[in-house]
Amino acid sequence: MSLIYSTSEKIFIKQNYQKHSGMPACYAESPAEAFYVNQFVTDEIYNSEFFAYDTPSYYTLGGTLNYYAQDFWSIFTNIYKPLIKFIFTANTINFGTGTTIKHKIYKIPYSVYSQYTSEEIRQNIEQNKDSSEETIEESITESGITKTVVTTRKKAIFNTTEKFAPEKFPETIYGYGIGTVDKYSKIKELLTNPILTITASTSGISTSVYDLFLDEYQKRLGDFKYQLFEDYGQYFITTQFEITKEYSTRLMDYCGLDANGNIIPIEHEQYYKETTSVPYHIITGGTFSGVPVCGNYFTYFLLPNKPKWTQPYVAGQLATFSPTFFWTNANDADSFLFQIVYDSGDCQSFSGVVYSYPVKVEDTKLSTDEMLNNDAEPWSITQKTTDIVREYSIPLLNNKTFWYRIGNVKEMINIFGVKQSVVTFSDIMSAMTTGGYNSYIYVNSDSPHVEEISDWIYPTYLDDTLQGQYSLSGVVSGSVVTGATIQLVYPNSSYITQPTDSTGNFIFTELEPGTYTLNTSYRGYAQDSRSINVSGNTDIGIIQLKLIWGNAWDTWGSKANEIYPF
């Protein structure tokens, strides 16, 4: 007999029914027999045993939950399709046919993101409207008489000039951008509705590593294919584990009463399913403060073009210590980065002491390089191409052989207010600067507050015997820190980088007096930044890096900031 459940009263109903032995009542030798059977619901019929499931522990290589740091895992390029590597560290014993992994991908296209910039920043071309006069002669016929009329009028002239690309997104934006009541409604909509959902089976995970590859093109049923990854696009990927558990005791013949009191069957779950939650984060500062996000984050870049050196080349023995460099193929760059090394052993890798000079596009000069390809035959066709040549001058150490390269940089400020950038470097070339500043540099003090007339004087701090006599040294310490990156920013905003040695020591030499900024970084640790006044040989002692919460390599360090753990 079926079990009956009353949905209105939310109780199981006791049943009874009459039953007899099956013998005919008319048999003389057998008494008539009839008795009632009472049926009740018992616990073991509909209860299932309690079970526990431990959520897998893992960390990722690719994408980042460290939203506010300049994490290189948060940048993908078109060299290789995005790959997020999940490395499981615990609670994977339950992996099998009963567990699946669900990923949801959310996309913020740059075409939408850029709508929140001001009109001035969105403009790529700036037109300057000038005017001049022009004289026009017109023939007019009046009352059968034709006469010539001379008219002078203003003529508009549009001079199209280059509009240098600003940073891809400002830190602060005024106004509502796209004019909606909620100025971030479109962004929030994109972060709510996934563009793609991927389901993976854990039965295919035979090791502690699981790789999530994302194809560049996707296709929905009934629609054309679309490109998932776009230049300057921002992406979030959430990961959830769906756990399926079969009830140990199944419900059989589960019935209920309808509105008319009729007994009807009721569908019931044979399997229990539970999905793990996704940690959400509310952006705490910057332009998009208050916008909720979740999952691993990354930005996708199409790599910039490779710069090409052009004539006149900087090569051989130079007659100056501040040569002018010329290069082309830089139309897609947001900025440039010059790098110089003076060590012949580092002339290819640029991994040791590197002098870097960030260059804005608007600080470079433009010229036109016209290349003619003439054939000696009379019937040849002259081919003429025009390219934009940029030029920039950099002062270097005198009387030194140096190796140099320049990079096209693409960059943007992401939704968290963090600048992200990728660079493509040119071929490496070398030259040698001339010796002795005193042949070129003199200073002249001419103040309106004094009567004396001063002559041109050579400053002694430029003398080779005095230049670069100071050093800055120290040691970087952490639980496992060796080979940390040390960046020393000069007062003129150029900088030099070098790695620490196997024991964490570093030293910068040939420093002039001034105030420098020292930035120390290492994967998994919070960056240390400090201002240092160099007026002599300076040893700053130990730089103790703080471990970021969630670093897979060492879980016993101090928590550097509130970042979601992997």
Pairing mode of beta strands 225-227, 217-219: antiparallel
For residue 137, the surrounding DSSP H or E stretch is strand 125-142
What pLDDT does residue 563 have? 37
The set of residues, in sequence order, having a beta carbon less than 8 Å from that of 376 and lying 6+ positions away, is: none
> Residue 26 pLDDT > 70, yes or no?
no
> Residue 412 pLDDT > 70, yes or no?
yes
pLDDT in tens, 484-515: 888 999 887 888 998 888 888 899 988 878 88
Please give the average per-residue pLDDT across 368-390, as a whole number: 53
Dist. CA 566–CA 557, nearest whole Å: 15
Q: What is the DSSP-derived secondary structure letter of residue 453?
A: P
Quick one: CA torsion of 82, 88, 92, 98, rounded to 10 degrees?
-10
What pLDDT does residue 230 have? 92
* Residue scoring higher pLDDT (343 or 274): 343
What pLDDT does residue 375 have? 46
Query: What are the DSSP calls for 303-347, one per residue?
Result: PPPPPEE-SSP--EE-S-SS-EEEEE--TT-SEEEEEEE--GGGT
Region at 253 (left for phi over 0; alpha for psi -120 to 50; beta for the rest): left
Quick one: CA torsion of 66, 71, 74, 79, rounded to 10 degrees?
-160
What pLDDT does residue 493 have? 81
Single out the residue of 494, 545, 490 nearest to residue 523, CA to CA.
545
What pLDDT does residue 236 have? 96
pTM of the predicted model, to two decimals? 0.67
> Residue 534 pLDDT > 70, yes or no?
yes
Dist. CA 310–CA 431, nearest whole Å: 15
**Tokens 């870097």 belong to residue:** 356
Q: Which fold has domain 308-435?
A: Immunoglobulin-like (2.60.40)
The set of residues, in sequence order, having a beta carbon less than 8 Å from that of 562 and lying 6+ positions away, is: 549
What pLDDT does residue 410 have? 94
Please give the average per-residue pLDDT across 65-82, as a whole number: 86
Query: What are the DSSP calls for 181-234, one per residue?
Result: SSTTHHHHHHTTS-SEEEEEEGGG--SSEEEEE--SEEE-TTS-EEES--TTEE
Identify any residues that bridge with 4 across adjacent strands, giving them in sequence order: 13, 255
SS (H, E, C) 381-448: CCEEEEEEEEEEECCCCCCCEEEEEEEEEEEEECCCCCEEEEEEECCCEEEECCCCHHHCCCECCCCC
> Residue 543 pLDDT > 60, yes or no?
yes
One-letter amino acid of 181:
V
Dist. CA 124–CA 48, nearest whole Å: 66
For the ranges 262-266, 325-329, 508-512, the maximum mean pLDDT occurs at 325-329
CA distances from 53 to 59, 244, 250 (A): 19, 10, 20
> Residue 235 pLDDT > 90, yes or no?
yes
> Residue 102 pLDDT > 50, yes or no?
yes
Q: What is the DSSP-derived secondary structure letter of residue 525?
A: B
Q: Which fold has domain 468-544?
A: Immunoglobulin-like (2.60.40)
* Residue scoring higher pLDDT (26 or 221): 221
Please give the average per-residue pLDDT across 401-418, as a whole number: 93
Dist. CA 9–CA 4, nearest whole Å: 12
Please give the average per-residue pLDDT across 182-210, as a whole number: 83
One-letter amino acid of 124:
N
Q: Where in the chain is the domain with CATH 2.60.40.10?
A: 308-435, 468-544
Helix-strand-coil percent breakdown of the chain, rounded to 5?
Answer: 5, 45, 50
* Residue scoring higher pLDDT (534 or 181): 534
| Reported confidence tier of residue 173, pLDDT bands at 50, 70, 90 | very low
Return the number of other C-beta atoms located less than 10 Å from residue 498's C-beta: 18
- Measured between its terminal Cα atoms, the distance across the chain in Å is 53
What pLDDT does residue 424 have? 94
Dist. CA 132–CA 331, nearest whole Å: 33
* Residue scoring higher pLDDT (439 or 337): 337
CA distances from 118 to 190, 232, 541 (A): 21, 18, 46
